[in-house]
Amino acid sequence: MSEPSYPKTPRNAINRLRNRGAYDFQTAHGIINTTAVLHVSFAPDPTDPYPIVLPMIGQMGTRTEPHSTDLNHPMDLYLHGSISSRIMKLSHEAIARGDHGLAVCIAATKVDGYVLAHTPFHHSYNFRSAVVHGHATVLITNKIVPERWQNTRTPPNQVELQSTNILRVRVFSGSAKLRWGVPNGDRADLKNQDVLDRYWAGVVPMWETFGEPICAPSNQAPVPDHVRGFVQRQNEENRRVALEASEEQK
């Protein structure tokens, strides 16, 4: 039985190195939800030839099951931003015109290692990337650190609510592209003992690491267990993924 996936279309198809492409929901949504900053692209105005790209905080999710960890089904993408930002205003204007929303393209990328080969031509990255398309129309706190909502002053006050908006992007297209494993090499180089002896080839693993929590000057409470647990779990998981990506794939 095939994995639930985005339909493959000219818009989202992987054209180069197609064997690295993935269209299943689990892969694409998982990359997005483990990326700290998403890059959101949109056209600001039909008369402006230059697209806008904004770094934003985002999370795949569903309104009916906001706490579900199951990513293997169609989901919306929620973006957090200031109520006065351009993307918020353009989304409101798109709805007012009768459009489905502001057309957006959202990219997420994780780098798991530098791949260094015998020749510069075969140098590369081990990486995971995802791109989705959808319409934005006018959760996030817990995306950053699980259980953080329950361990802060809530609910937000009126000023906070009036200065922040959540954009919901109805995603209709998506795909992922991944590279993992050891360096590639020319057959001639791999048979040339002089090349093998003189030039090192391998992978330098790379992963995000969270440091020891530092208390704010006004803080009087101890660092809570959910923060320490989050730091430990994320560091262990990021390290595991990067090291596994550096191994030769069977």
Q: What is the pLDDT of residues 38-67, one digit of tens each?
A: 999 999 988 888 999 999 999 998 877 766
Please, what is the average pLDDT of the chain?
A: 89
Looking at residue 177, its pLDDT comes to 98
Is the four-CA dihedral 150, 155, 157, 163 of positive or negative sign?
Answer: positive
Out of 70-74, 161-165, 170-174, the most confident range is 170-174
**Two structure tokens written together for 73:** 């089904």
SS3 at position 28: helix
Mean pLDDT of 116-120: 93
Looking at residue 125, its pLDDT comes to 96
Mean pLDDT of 151-179: 77
Q: Are 33 and 143 in contact (CB under 8 A)?
A: yes
- To the question of domain 18-245 being in CATH 2.30.110.10, the answer is yes
pLDDT band with cut points at 50, 70 and 90 for residue 249: confident
Considering only 11-25, 44-58, 109-123, 148-162, which range has the smallest mean pLDDT? 148-162
**Two structure tokens written together for 150:** 């329950």
pTM (two decimals): 0.85
pLDDT band with cut points at 50, 70 and 90 for residue 141: very low
Mean pLDDT of 83-100: 88
SS3 at position 231: helix
How far CA 224 is from CA of 145, 148, 229, 238, in Å, comes to 12, 10, 9, 22
Sort residue 48 into left (φ over 0), alpha (ψ -120 to 50) or beta: beta
How far CA 28 is from CA of 42, 93, 111, 182, in Å, comes to 20, 29, 15, 23
Q: What ranges do the domains of the chain cover?
A: 18-245
Among the listed residues 67, 74, 79, the one whose alpha carbon sits nearest the alpha carbon of residue 39: 79
pLDDT band with cut points at 50, 70 and 90 for residue 154: low
Q: Are 183 and 248 in contact (CB under 8 A)?
A: no
